[in-house]
Every structure is written in structure tokens, then in C-alpha cells.
Amino acid sequence: MDADAQELKKISGILDHTALFLRLLKEIAILYLEKGLQNKDLLSSPAIVYDYLKASLKGSTDEEFKTVFLDGRNQMITVETLKTGTVNRSVVYPRKVVERALYNHATGVIIAHNHPAGTLKPSEDDYTITRAIKDALKTVDIALLDHVIVGNNDYYSFRNNNWV
């Protein structure tokens, strides 16, 4: 499901319409998982958040930075992709995260990005940006609830590792 249309059409019997259909299946699955985030306390049901983030970030050849904005009941307000970067870097500014959190009237934020190479180990930059975003959000009384790194088959949660 992570292959693009051109890759799919290289397979014998796969034509334009079939390739498009297969690509749409992934998008439908992601929308289904996103719908499952609604009206749930996401801190007491973290597995559904991780499943959604894995599905939406896995397979991308470039780093993407997503933000899940939550209300006072830890229910999802919305999910936004704040930045798409290069194969090994996605630069996001804490100011932008704070701006979008205030715009969405969020009281909590979960940030996530993928590592296209598949590694789950946070880089020094990952720790630095997590700290910077957490500190920036704190100044406006918004909590950073987790930072999730998505690899090829799994994820790393800063919250589960007592870092957030």
C-alpha cells in the first residue's frame, strides 16, 4: 500500500485504475483510523493514536511532522501536517506549533514525525525540538502530551519512555 502509482503499474496486470484504487485504499484506511480518534480520551487510549500515526506516516520517503491537537477532555480537535521535509530532516518551528495550538483552542498536543530510514532511535535534534516545543507550549498553558517517532514497523513514544 505504500508504493506509488508508477511502482504499482510495473506489476503485471496493474493498470492506471487499479493503481489509483490501491492508493485510495490506503487513504481510506487512514481516514477510518482518524475517525476512530474522535470523541475518545486519547491519553487513556494511546494505541489508537499510535495506529493512526503509523498508518499515516509509514511509507513516506520524506520526513513529515504531524500534530494532533486535543481539548480539555483529551479528545482530538484536529490533526495537521505542519511540515514535510527531506529524506532525513523535517524542520518545524515551536512558534508554528504554538500558533496552530492556539488557533485550534487546544489544551494538549501530540507531535509526531516519521524516520523514513526506519530507525526509531531519537536523534539529538529530536530531543532538542521536543524540549523546545514543550517549553514554548508551556508558556501559553498548553501541554505537550507526547512526541511519537514512526519507523518502518513500529514507533517510539517519548511519553512511554518518561521523556515528556
Give pTM, 2 decimals.
Answer: 0.77
Cell output for 102 = 492556539
- Give the residue, 20 or 121, on which the prediction is more confident: 121
Residue indicated by cell numbers 490501491: 22
User: What are the tens digits of pLDDT across the range 38-90?
Assistant: 776 767 777 788 888 887 877 778 888 999 999 999 998 999 998 665 545 56
Q: How far lies 75's CA from each of 35, 39, 43, 69, 102, in Å?
A: 12, 6, 9, 8, 16
Looking at the DSSP bridge assignments, the partners of residue 114 are 150
Residue with cell 502509482: 5
Q: What is the spatial distance between Cα 111 and Cα 25, in angstroms, rounded to a whole number?
A: 25
pLDDT of residue 162: 92
> pLDDT for 101-116, tens place per residue?
999 999 999 999 988 8
Domain ranges of the chain: 1-35, 41-157
Strand 76-84 to 143-150 pairing:
unpaired
Read off the pLDDT band of 7 (50, 70, 90).
low
Please provide the DSSP assignment of 106-127 as one string. Answer: -SEEEEEEE-TT---SPPHHHH
41-157: in CATH 2.60.40.1180: no
DSSP state at residue 141 = T
